[in-house]
Amino acid sequence: MVQKINYRIKRQIGTKILLPICVLSVLLTSCKKLIEVNTPTTSISGENVFTNDGTAISLLTGIYTQISSGSLLYGDFISVGLLTGLSGDELTLDIGSKGQPLNDFYINKLTSNTGNNLWYNIYPKIFVVNSAIEKLPNATSLTAGVKRQLLGEAKFMRAFFYFYLVNLYGDIPLVLSTDYTVNSVRPRTPKAEVWSQIIADLKDAKELLTTDYLDATLLGISPERVRPNKWAATALLARSYLYTQDWINAEAQATEVINHTALFHLDSLNNVFQKNNPEAIWQLQPVNYGSNTEDAKTYIIHSDGFSLSKPVYLSENLVNSFEINDQRKISWTNTITISGNSYAFPSKYKSDSLNAPLTEYNTVLRLAEQFLIRSEAKAEQKNIQGSLDDLNTIRKRAWLKKYEIGTSLDLSKIIYQERRVELFNEWGHRWLDLKRSKTVNSVMGIVTPQKGGTWSPNWQLYPIPPSDILANKNIIQNPGY
Amino acid sequence: MQSRVSRPSLLFTLLSLVYSLYAFGTPNRQFQKITITAINIPLGEVFKKIHQQTGISITNKTDETELSNRKKVTVNFVKTDITEVMSFLLIDYKDLNFIQNDKNIVIIKTFPLIPKGHFIANQKDTATVIFPFSGKIVDASGNPIPGATIKIKDSKHGTISNSDGSFRLSDVNKGTLIVISSIGFESKEIVVDIKNTTIELASRTNNLDEKVVMAYGSTTKRLNTGNISSLKAIDIEKQPPSNPLLSLQGRVPGVVIQQASGLFNSGVTIHIQGLNSIQSGNDPFFVIDGVPYISQLLPIGNASAGASGSSGIAGNPLNFLNSSDIESIEVLKDADATAIYGSRAANGAVLITTKKGKSGETKTDITLQTGWGKVGHMLRLLNTKEYLNMRHEALANDDITTPSQSDYDLNGTWDTTRDINWQKELIGNTANYTDAQVSLSGGTSLTQFLIGAGYNKQTSVFPGKFSDTKGSLHISINNTSSNQKFKVRLSASYMYDNNKPPLGDITNNAITLSPVAPDPYNSDGSINWAPTAAGSTTYYLNPLAYLVNVNTNKTTNLTSNLVVGYELIPGLEVRSSFGYNNMVGNEITKQYLTSVYPEYRMYYYRSSIFFNNRLNSCLVEPQIEFKRNLNKGKFNVLVGSTISQNNNDQSVTTATGFSNDLVMEDLASAINLSGSNINSIYKYNALYGRMTYNWMDKYIVNLNARRDGSSRFGPKNQFHNFGSIGIAWIFSQEVFFENIFPTLSFGKIRGSYGTTGNDQIGDYQFLNLYQPILVIGNLYQNALGLAASTLTNPYLQWEETKKLQLGLELGFIQDKILFTLNFNQNRSSNQLLPFSLPITTGFTSIIKNFPAVIQNTGWEFTLNTINIKTKDLSWTTNINLTIPKNKLLSFSGENSYNTISVGKSITMQRLFQYNGVNDTTGIYEFKDAKGNITSNPSDPSDKISIVTPDPKFYGGIQNSFSYKGFSLDFLFTFCKQNAQDNLSYGMLNAIYPGTFNYGKSNQPKSILDRWQKEGDNARLQPFSTSGKTLSLVGSSDAIWSDASYIKLKNVSISWQLPDRWKKIAHLQNLRLFMHAQNLITITNYKSFDPETPGLALPPLRVITFGVHITL
């Protein structure tokens, strides 16, 4: 009896439950609903980024974060100063690090597989700024001010990236959209065209960006000078005109910045790299755990000597180029004696201990450079007195004596010399100046053999990654690689 | 005379054939008259003539009857009745008899029940008793055998046993010969005598009729239309406890298995019939008891175990399955076997079936084993004298007179009187193995159960307490209602794994560390940084410093499956399978301050990284199966649907800034916390069907179809159809064949063609995604940043593999020799590839479907022989050989994709063509693209040499002997291949002979063959402290060498207690055994192990001893 009931129940399970399940599921099959998934909760789809202020701002904040979180030793963008310092005559590589890839930069023997970090590091960021420049104008749900500021930041950053690419690699593919089908076959664009784009972007950025420094909502004013504003765009525009020998405009732009004394004036040497100091035009806030700047972390040498993470010191060439009494040598360099040998190292950034409060920011653009730009622009326009005035402004701060008009001066040479000792170890100025002044072959012809390498004019340009040449047959390698 | 007969007889045969096709099985007495006249004609010839004239085939199993077909006879029959002819031919053999129906005559040894010449079947003119015949079919232990075929021999009259094994045949003559057959059992012929009987079938020892698990069902090797290789528990158990996939090594053709490392829980890569995909996963589809199982784990922080395949994710998910719980592993290769799995089985499928209970007395099985593992082969490295000479020579070559401040090995900082064999110190320990398995099983004919529990612990060969401990539980319950209509089957396995691996594989340190490097520990047991007098560290690369850090990984894994089925009407069953998998892994890595050199500690912080991984998948798979006998054939239709969802959740938390080592698992004690997580969902939905028609076990057609939808693909391309056709012709069942080749006991030709897909590309690949940037320090302006992670492609679609397979299976001498030949040609197209992009696009690649076609062809041979089989002694041999070939047939975007080339294997690598050391300059030279010799070839245009690690052929030879209670089994595996040899030109991972590199500077002895002076014919460039152009030789074909090997892979010896001792001890069984793995390798390969090329810890040589007791 019991068993019989069991049968009935089981039969019911069979016919009343299983069969409908089967039939139902067969009917449901191939129903799109069953395989539809929402976008993952842990990332944001490209469609949604520009639908609200927060995520749109995050995109540009992401770029600053990425640059700032880079390491000097792994060839991230922030290491432009270190890598070009090794390529040029500013830094010496400690012998213990000879086996490291840095050595290729040091002895000017880059292969197509080394020395392309910067290229690799910059272009993905250009994709992001391009996507912002493409999508922002049509983003209807953003606050108008935010939209305008972001577009300005994106154009500024694009110009900033191309400035370094064109200087380090020569002709480069000028990528202005996010369409990979177009970008993947783009050949190298002549330098002149890249320069016009840089200048055009900076002019736009200057129009779009606010005159104040903004906070991360882009709605409030901030004392932090870590987001580019109109003055950053103007300062970079001045530099770009200088590099393209448009002396009139270079002077005009630099003057605009210098005259904006409400925000900018020269500070004492010890304050120049402090966060938000009055000389800073654009700084990067450190984001890495426990450290102030990566520069301090890498360059400051202690009595325990060099190591894998502290492999460089200042070259004798640079140390000897300071005039006697130059306070910059005292404030911005330091020496340490290890095993009886004395080594000089850069100490522009001083705070290198773990978990110290954030006091120093990586300074990308600062006022002193604007004086030097204007000095050079004026000199080229034969405004000798004006040129010397600007130069002397900088020299005065370093306790150096003024240059007087009338003495036989090679004005161009002393301006470059001043740039050398003022801007050493900052964002590649020296290496770019060597090339810009066309003295690179004569200087490196002497320096490279001292470093254990052989100089060829080809080494002025870094090699393009072979993977890009493979993936885009329209790209031709720089000569010599 | 003969010729006169032969012509009509040909016509006769044709007629009879035609006739028999139309009226198969009806008695045709008129054809049973024989006319033969001949002198001294072989008996076989007479049989042939009888067949020609009557269509009746005569079976004379000569080894049973001891009557040779070659025996000469003289005959003179004219229209003689066949019964008389047969009686005449056998008149001299008192112990021989024959049984006959209208199609067959079988000569047999004495059949006492029936007088000679008795007509047995369907012979209406003989006085016989007709009655309904019923009975029950059972196995040796009395369990019913459902689905057995009960048939009157050579007629279509027959039935199939019910689920309780019972059957009933109406209208059977007494004395009729009945054939009972069932999958997995020996067929049996009985003569009907009484009305009701119980018939016991012996389980098959012949592997043709062993059960073979296939997708959604089972078959036998005999009737299978596809290419399925099967491995049973008996072979899996010969392996010391490890990943169950490793037991397939060398035992299954067409399958390449590679163990990533000799560390426990290591990665295991399995490739079935070659690589079908250039970049997407080449993992097969894993199914455990019908439920799909993951092929890749979620990423963890510690990669020391090595990855499974190209994904780079350490470990293998099957490490979390107890190999002792496995009953069989089936490898499904061709389209016929895999098309029903649609888009997931292009790379083949591996079906794992766990152990089930058997009815009978409850019994307990206990297996205990313990063993040891060691690195089988160490490398020959420089000793201190040679090492120091090398360093001094390097300095001299570079014109350096005094060693620099950081040349600690030469400037007096390190003690150069030391001569340490770091291989012995760092990887020279013995790993211990402990394994215990207990299972309880039993049941009635309606309910069977099995409960098993296991414990396993392994340690490592590294210094330090590293271990992996596993505890597992396995449950299986089967129930059938007493009316046999309702069935429930539940199986579940649970494992808890507590893994404490080293945080890195220090094998590389063991072979590169300078022999003069200081002792890793100070006398007080702390890490020795060998500071200078000034306090600066010199021993940065102290190999044990990093091992101070602790890594633990606790994993729980539940796999379960419930099948509920109901037979609506006889032959129509509705069932549904419900599967659930849940794997949870918690990994913690604690990095202590003591693991970094003292000067760096001011920039370093204690950190703990927590990986919390959760994978779970649900599956509902309703099915309807319909079985019916249709016109002499069996017809089987299966229709089903799959609805499944997989959730992958991972959260990674990095906590830093702890004030001391003790609180590092307490998040509240961390100064800084950061995290990231992945939550991905994979949904999958399908409708599938299979139709099989088996006509008289002679012609078999199998059709599969599937429509699949998957969330992994772009909205524009989410659905696709797959299908296959498989046919088999068992030609040995043909009457004429039995006569032509009497020694051929089995012959089958099969072929299949169909399509399968590959969707192993990860989730959300079609979306353009932005992800937050992980910052461990301060957020930029206290705001989160976003970064772009992928480019979008809404057209993403599956890769498709079209598989063509042809097989020939032969059995000789009553299947004592079984030979299989399989040919496959698999063509995979629609390749999902990261289309290489210049970084100027922002990304290095975009995933696209390429019209590339990859072809994998392969020949697989297996030969199974029973060489000796007597009561006490047996010897069997299994040989398999695979000759694979991988080739890229076409590829449209070759220029953008440098790593492959049309006409070559997809694993190929382009390298510089090495041309030796210039004997004048001592510099490495290469041939460039124009054929000129250069020491400065340009990359990539001069990379003209192409090499591939693909095996040319591989296989295994297994021999099993048993004598009384002893058994011995050994397996040799072999492979012909090339591999990168990282030693011939020095350790080339940026450690060039002569450089110091903070003590990572030792070299193999082979580098002593270097150029020193003009005229030297040397293999290596001069030593140097800076490396210079040495890296080029590492990108050349010079470092590729032959890595072929023959390996004594496995030896298993066991001894079973004699029966009378067992009785005394009150044991059902007691067996002592020894298992050994990787015992001997014969090879020219210079590095550790040609089976796992490279410089990771090689698979260990393991020996275990144990006992198996059945209570």
* Alpha carbon distance B381, B991 (integer Å): 14
* Alpha carbon distance B1076, B43 (integer Å): 53
Whether B795 and chain A come into contact, CB under 8 Å, resolves to no
Percent of chain B exceeding pLDDT 90 equals: 46
Question: The sheet that has B291-293: what strands, in order across it?
Answer: B228-232, B326-332, B349-354, B285-288, B291-293
pLDDT value at B1041 more than 50: yes
Task: Tell me the nearest-neighbour CA distance from A191 into chain B, angstroms.
Answer: 16
* Cβ neighbour number for residue A399 with a 10 Å cutoff: 13
Chain B residues whose beta carbon lies within 8 Å of the beta carbon of residue A354: 602-605
Average pLDDT of the segment spanning A468-477: 89
Average pLDDT of the segment spanning B25-39: 61
Instruction: Return the structure tokens found at B791.
Output: 């480019």
The tens digit of pLDDT for each residue in B395-442 reads 998 888 888 888 899 988 899 999 999 999 999 999 999 999 999 999
* Alpha carbon distance B774, B777 (integer Å): 9
The H or E element spanning position A191 is helix A191-208
Q: Give the gyration radius of chain A's Cα atoms.
A: 28
For residues B574 and B504, the answer to whether their CB atoms sit within 8 Å is no
Whether B400 and chain A come into contact, CB under 8 Å, resolves to no
Banded model confidence at residue B114, pLDDT cuts 50, 70, 90: very low
User: Which stretch of A119-133, B719-733, B778-792 has the lowest confidence by average pLDDT?
Assistant: B778-792
Whether A66 and chain B come into contact, CB under 8 Å, resolves to yes
Mean pLDDT (chain A) is 89
* In chain B, residues 111-130 whose CB comes closer than 8 Å to chain A: none
For residue B32, give the nearest of B7, B4, B53 by alpha carbon. B53
pLDDT of residue B1027: 62
For residue A252, give the nearest of A264, A236, A265, A238 by alpha carbon. A238
The tens digit of pLDDT for each residue in B684-734 reads 888 999 999 998 888 999 999 999 888 888 777 888 899 999 999 999 888
Q: Which of B191-205, B514-528, B766-780 has the highest mean pLDDT?
A: B514-528
Instruction: Return the structure tokens found at B440.
Output: 């309880």
Question: Which of the two residues, A171 and B989, has the higher pLDDT score?
Answer: A171
CB contact under 8 A, B603 and A355: no
For residues B1090 and B347, the answer to whether their CB atoms sit within 8 Å is no
Banded model confidence at residue A167, pLDDT cuts 50, 70, 90: very high
pLDDT of residue B20: 38
CB contact under 8 A, B566 and A42: no
Which of A22, A49, A153 is the best residue to mutate to test the B interface, defined by the most B CB atoms within 10 Å of its own CB? A22
pLDDT of residue A91: 95
Question: Whats the size of chain B, residue-wise?
Answer: 1111
* Alpha carbon distance A235, A242 (integer Å): 11
Q: Residue-wise over B389-413: b if at least 16 C-beta within 10 A, else e?
A: ebbebbbebeebeebbbbbbbbeeb
pLDDT of residue B117: 40
Task: Tell me the nearest-neighbour CA distance from A477 into chain B, angstroms.
Answer: 11
Q: Are strands B149-152 and B447-459 parallel, antiparallel or unpaired?
A: unpaired
pLDDT of residue A10: 47
pLDDT value at B961 more than 90: yes
Average pLDDT of the segment spanning B898-915: 87
CB contact under 8 A, B763 and A37: yes
* In chain B, residues 54-73 whose CB comes closer than 8 Å to chain A: none
Q: How far is CA A96 from CA A80, A295, A309, B416, in A?
A: 22, 20, 11, 19
Q: Which of A47-61, A256-270, B765-779 has the highest mean pLDDT?
A: A256-270
* Alpha carbon distance B187, A207 (integer Å): 93
Question: Whats the size of chain A, residue-wise?
Answer: 481
For residues B641 and B621, the answer to whether their CB atoms sit within 8 Å is yes
CA angle (A121, A127, A130) in 5-degree steps: 135
The tens digit of pLDDT for each residue in B448-477 reads 999 999 999 999 999 988 999 999 999 999
CB contact under 8 A, A358 and B998: no
Chain B residues whose beta carbon lies within 8 Å of the beta carbon of residue A222: 781
Look at residue A205 and give its three-state secondary structure. Answer: helix
pLDDT of residue A33: 64
> Following DSSP, what letter does each residue of B519-534 receive, concatenated?
PSB-TTSSB-----TT
* Alpha carbon distance B137, B186 (integer Å): 12
pLDDT value at B786 more than 90: no
For residue B412, give every residue at least 6 positions away whose Cβ sits within 8 Å of its Cβ, in sequence order, or none. none
Mean pLDDT (chain B) is 86
* In chain B, residues 650-669 whose CB comes closer than 8 Å to chain A: 656-657
Whether B784 and chain A come into contact, CB under 8 Å, resolves to yes
Site of tokens 């993951």: B294
Q: How far is CA B1032 from CA A447, B715, B985, in A?
A: 27, 46, 11
pLDDT of residue A40: 65
Chain A residues whose beta carbon lies within 8 Å of the beta carbon of residue B838: 173, 183-184, 467-468, 471-472, 475
CB contact under 8 A, A303 and B534: yes
Q: How far is CA A402 from CA A270, A392, A393, A394, B679, in A?
A: 21, 5, 8, 9, 65
The closest CB to that of B683, out of A35, A131, A470, belongs to A35
For residues B230 and B239, the answer to whether their CB atoms sit within 8 Å is no
* In chain A, residues 339-398 whose CB comes closer than 8 Å to chain B: 339, 341, 352-355, 358
Question: Which of the two residues, A175 and B1066, has the higher pLDDT score?
Answer: A175
Instruction: Return the structure tokens found at A267.
Output: 């500070």
> Following DSSP, what letter does each residue of B252-264 receive, concatenated?
STTEEEEE--SST
For residue A383, give every residue at least 6 positions away whose Cβ sits within 8 Å of its Cβ, in sequence order, or none. none
Cα dihedral value A391, A392, A398, A400, nearest 10: 120
Whether B824 and chain A come into contact, CB under 8 Å, resolves to no
Chain B residues whose beta carbon lies within 8 Å of the beta carbon of residue A126: 840, 842
* Cβ neighbour number for residue B799 with a 10 Å cutoff: 29
pLDDT value at B590 more than 90: yes
CA B550 to chain centre: 33
Look at residue A270 and give its three-state secondary structure. Answer: helix
| ipTM of the complex model | 0.87
User: Which stretch of B65-74, B688-697, B793-802 has the lowest confidence by average pLDDT?
Assistant: B65-74
The tens digit of pLDDT for each residue in A282-315 reads 999 999 888 899 999 999 999 888 887 889 999 9
Instruction: Return the structure tokens found at A297.
Output: 């972390």
For residues B666 and B622, the answer to whether their CB atoms sit within 8 Å is no
Average pLDDT of the segment spanning A147-156: 96
For residues B393 and B1008, the answer to whether their CB atoms sit within 8 Å is no
> Following DSSP, what letter does each residue of B505-522 receive, concatenated?
-THHHHHHB-TTPPPSB-
pLDDT of residue A205: 97
Which of A17, A18, A189 is the best residue to mutate to test the B interface, defined by the most B CB atoms within 10 Å of its own CB? A18
Average pLDDT of the segment spanning B812-827: 92
The closest CB to that of B781, out of A19, A215, A339, belongs to A215
For residues A152 and A170, the answer to whether their CB atoms sit within 8 Å is no
Average pLDDT of the segment spanning B248-262: 94
> Following DSSP, what letter does each residue of B570-583 receive, concatenated?
TTEEEEEEEEEEEE
Task: Tell me the nearest-neighbour CA distance from A108 into chain B, angstroms.
Answer: 12
CA B484 to chain centre: 35
Look at residue A60 and give its three-state secondary structure. Answer: helix
pLDDT value at B17 more than 60: no
Look at residue B26 and give its three-state secondary structure. Answer: coil
CA B113 to chain centre: 51
Site of tokens 């800073």: A280
CA angle (B599, B604, B606) in 5-degree steps: 125
Banded model confidence at residue B610, pLDDT cuts 50, 70, 90: very high
> Following DSSP, what letter does each residue of B584-610 receive, concatenated?
EEEEEEEE-GGGS-GGGGGG---EEEE
Chain B residues whose beta carbon lies within 8 Å of the beta carbon of residue A352: 603
User: Which stretch of A319-328, B168-177, B835-844 has the lowest confidence by average pLDDT?
Assistant: B168-177
Banded model confidence at residue B184, pLDDT cuts 50, 70, 90: low
Chain A residues whose beta carbon lies within 8 Å of the beta carbon of residue B639: 26
